[in-house]
Amino acid sequence: MSVEGAQDPTGIAITGVTHRYGPVRALDDVTLDLPGGTTIGLVGPDGVGKSTLLGLIAGVRRLQSGRLAVLGADMAVRRAREAFLPRVAFMPQGLGRNLYPTLSVWENIDFFARLFGMDAQARDARIQRLLDATGLAPFPDRAAGHLSGGMKQKVSLCCALVHDPDLLILDEPTTGVDPLSRQQFWTLVDQLRAERPSMTVIVSTAYMEEAERFSWLVAMDEGRVLISDRTPNVLARTGTGSVEAAYISLLPEGKRQQASGFVIPPYVDPGGPPAIEAEHLTRRFGSFTAVSDVSFTISRGEIFGFLGSNGCGKSTTMKMLTGLLDVTSGTAELFGEQITAGDMKTRMRIGYMSQAFSLYEELTVRQNLMLQARLYRIPPAQAVSRVEESLDSFELRGCADVSPASLPLGIRQRLQLAAACINNPEILILDEPTSGVDPAARDMFWRHLIRLSRQDHVTIFVSTHFMNEAARCDRISLMHRGHVLAVGTPAELVKKRSAPDLETAFIAYLQDAEAVTDAQETATAAAKPAPSARARWWHAAVRKWSALAGQWGGAWLPRAWAFARREAVELLRDRLRLMFALVGPLILLVVAASSISFDVEGVGFTVSDHDRTTISHELIDSFRGSPYFHELPPVADADTLDRTIRNGHAQMALDIPAGFARDLEAGRRPEIGVIIDGAVPFLAANVRAYATGVLMGYAGTLGREMPGTAGLPITVEPRFSYNQEFRSIYAMTPGVIMLALILIPTMLTALGVVREKEVGSIVNLYASPASVGQYLMGKQAPYAALATISYVMLVIVAVVVMGVPLKGSLLALTVGGVLFVLSATGLGLLISTFVSSQVAAIFGTSIICLIPSVNFSGLLYPASTLTGISRMVGLGFPAAWYQLISLGCFTKGLGTGSFGTMYLALGGFAAIYMVAARLLLKKQEA
């Protein structure tokens, strides 16, 4: 059905949609017609295009080709898409990816409610209702970063549902969540949908058993739709009894063959000491305990499964067993020997496969295996044969000379397994090796594990989220929040809980553990003292003021205020960023202004006096009496003089020729040698100027005392305007204030946006009715306020602590400072639009700010001396304009009337940067 022909205003019509990421085709001519008012499951492994398709439907990705109508809105038309956004709720993939870790549960949901324009009364009522429905009511003040994976997903769901949407899009909402939290999550979705039967729910999932709960099923592979129909019809059309079997039957013939059945031979314990033994193993990160009192043993050749949610401590335990992490307390032994970090002898007997792909995409499959062989110190001739054996054993021969980047996820995981086995390990530790892999590829992967265990007698320690995989293990350990709940064979654990299957048994164990945890948290909450009357008054006042501020400016300012309020709260709770913003500029001011000095004081000089007369001694005395020079022991000859200068023992030398006094008295002009160390040209020029001044003063005195000599008939007295004391700190301080205000606020503002790009929370902007302008203004406001506070602190320290006089108008300096801060933060926003990582933001900001600010602003030499391109660069950057204001106020005593042009320039920079950022930051991903 085409967009023009879409008759169902509650449905979704997709026609010929193709989407590419560079050369990779994520969606390939997808055409779908999905009904409204129902639940739709989108199934398939990672990398088949599910997230891309959901992003297009939610409006967070830009439509490249084809047609797409969602709830009657043409997603290719900007106005139609913006009108549609208040009706959709999008929960992106990843545990709590759309949440802000330092914000509490209540604050996160409140932020989303503000984005969708809800007033204070409606917000409070809706949030309380959602917290009650999800069981989160006891934890409104808990930071999102301190929640379990299941609780994070519940909060994310509350954030998505706070505005009562017509379309709810959930991208793999239960991946990495324990079975109990998954069960609670879907129960909650069912309850909320029962209240609104007209709401359409689209869910992508990697758990095939979850997909059976949806009314409509869409199966995808390699960017194409395999089938789209009602779930019972899908099972009937494929002649299968489960969604997983139906999905496998729809795959191409080559992939279906990977899922051919296999039998797991029973495990026979060979006896002897265990391969792995952990006793009371504990690992802490600061005050957080990731693994607590974990004990288990694994026999040789056994397949031991670790089952648990993301964040429960599985990966931490595995890293302790490989020596990658130190053990806080307890013991871990491999082959009867205690593990220590850096124990290479034991590590050579282990193969480790990390959760994420850890090989090199720049190398081919063969080259990656050869590199692993060399890292394990396998002799070259033997390494070649090992690599060839691995290519055959793990069925990688057909892609041996291909880069891993172009391989399907299942083959990439087989490559990682082959790399982990290249050293013929006795123990193989696999951290979620099949996460995101399709069922057929998972089966093929497990056939290799079974061969390694039963034929090669390799001990396998594997973590997984999938219950059918856990059932294949000889024994499993159920883990939750750093604790082991139970250990045994799958059959034993099921029987012990009188459960029909392993998942139900795991849920029963989790319910017992949660009951204990809930009782402890309730007792802790009850024991917590109630806030004081003053604290309650302050909290109420802040909320009231916040509510009033959010009502100003009609519909536009409240959303900008929502972003500003959230960013301010995050800043205030991030002590490191706060300290960097306020203390960093002060350190830069004190260190730079005090250490960068052009003052000439105590310059060491030596003398080679070949005349040795009273007049030559008077010449030397004129240097001795100057505070700028310090006399060193004299030298006897020219060679010694040259060596003293060359070795840096003296910066200047006087070479007084023989007959100096005689020539003066005879009216001749004797030549005095002044040798200056020119290694540092700027210092050398200053020394030359001061030495010339001393000599001119001496010549003037001599001319008055000896009228017949060749002395000058006048007295030369150098005079410096404005900075009469000619102290470098007076000249440097205004420039360093400029440098601190352009560098640190710009960097922090850029990082504030780029960090959201990296963690993915910027999707909250894409999927909300808020505009890019509201987002940018909201992001800029807290950093501009913080930079203004920093400006005040810099001026106070400069005047009060460092003793630099402010001779001009404080008002003039402050007006310029505020405009400069707006320019700097606007520049930070602009930089953030074309970088995508925080590292790039730091380097980019430093280069963009430092080069024109140091070289072309007037910091080191007057901007008026610049010509050509240098002058254009200086005038095209705000630093040069604020430098004129700062220097004029501090040293020249100027007021506001002198800086009209500078104020206009800074205001123009602030506006230009903001407009440019608004145009460059798109509200959709590519």
Residue 795 is predicted with a pLDDT of: 94
Q: What is the pLDDT of residue 323?
A: 76
Rounded percentage of the chain residues whose pLDDT exceeds 90? 30
Q: Which residue has better confidence, 347 or 4?
A: 347
Average pLDDT, the chain: 84
Give the model confidence (pLDDT) of 577-610 as tens digits: 899 899 989 988 888 777 665 656 778 889 988 8
Domain map (residue ranges) of the chain: 12-259, 276-517, 574-592+726-920, 603-705
pLDDT of residue 750: 95
| Residues 244-282 pLDDT 10s | 889 888 888 777 766 666 678 888 888 778 888 889 899
709 pLDDT above the threshold of 70? no
Residue 1 predicted with pLDDT over 50: no
Looking at residue 832, its pLDDT comes to: 94
State pLDDT tens for residues 387-443.
998 898 888 888 889 888 777 767 788 888 889 888 888 888 888 887 767 777 778
Q: How far apart are CA 84 and CA 73, in angstroms?
A: 6
Q: What is the pLDDT of residue 717?
A: 39
Tens of pLDDT, residues 649-669? 888 888 888 888 888 777 777
Please name the residue ranges forming H helices in 3-93: 50-58, 78-84
Helix, coil or strand: residue 395: coil
Ordered DSSP codes for 815-849: HHHHHHHHHHHHHHHHHHTS--SHHHHHHHHHHHH
Mean pLDDT over 227-254 rounds to 89
pLDDT at residue 429 in the model = 85
Q: What is the pLDDT of residue 591?
A: 84
Q: What is the mean pLDDT of residues 322-342?
A: 80
What does the pLDDT read at residue 720?
Answer: 37
pTM of this structure: 0.77
Least confident of 476-480, 718-722, 842-846: 718-722
Average pLDDT over residues 280-307: 87
Confidence of residue 359 (pLDDT cuts 50, 70, 90): confident
Residue 786 has pLDDT above 90, yes or no: yes
74 vs 55: CA distance, rounded Å: 15
DSSP structure class, residue 99: S
Q: How far apart are CA 777 and CA 77, in angstroms?
A: 25
pLDDT band at 509 (very low <50, low <70, confident <90, very high): confident
Note the pLDDT of residue 544.
Answer: 55
Task: Let me know: does 219 contact 41? Beta carbons within 8 Å.
Answer: no
Confidence of residue 722 (pLDDT cuts 50, 70, 90): very low
Q: What is residue 326's predicted lDDT score, i.e. its pLDDT?
A: 84
Cα torsion angle, 845, 848, 851, 853, sign:
negative
Q: Answer whether residue 4 shows pLDDT above 70.
A: no
Q: What is the pLDDT of residue 517?
A: 66
pLDDT at 106 (0 to 100)? 93
**pLDDT for residue 133:** 80
The CATH architecture annotation of domain 603-705 reads 3-Layer(aba) Sandwich (3.40)
Burial track 782-804 (b if 16+ CB lie within 10 A, e otherwise): bbbebbbebbeebbebbeeeeeb
Burial tier of 743 (Cβ tally within 10 Å: 0-12, 13-18, 19+): buried
Lowest mean pLDDT among 91-100, 196-205, 380-389: 91-100
Write down the CATH superfamily of domain 276-517: P-loop containing nucleotide triphosphate hydrolases (3.40.50.300)
Q: What is the pLDDT of residues 22-66, one digit of tens each?
A: 887 889 999 999 999 899 999 987 778 888 999 999 999 999 999
Tell me the pLDDT band of 727, cut-offs 50, 70 and 90.
low
Residue 901 has pLDDT above 60, yes or no: yes
> What superfamily would CATH give domain 12-259?
P-loop containing nucleotide triphosphate hydrolases (3.40.50.300)
Provide the pairing of β-strand 329-334 with 276-285. Answer: antiparallel
**Could you give the 3-state DSSP secondary structure of residue 232?**
helix
What is the share, in percent, of the chain residues with pLDDT greater than 70?
89
Torsion angle (degrees, nearest 10) of CA 554, 557, 562, 568 = -150
Position 288: which residue type? F
* DSSP helix/strand/coil, 208: helix
Tell me, yes or no, if the two domains 12-259 and 276-517 fold the same way: yes
Q: How far apart are CA 509 and CA 513, in angstroms?
A: 6
DSSP H or E segment with residue 298: strand 288-298
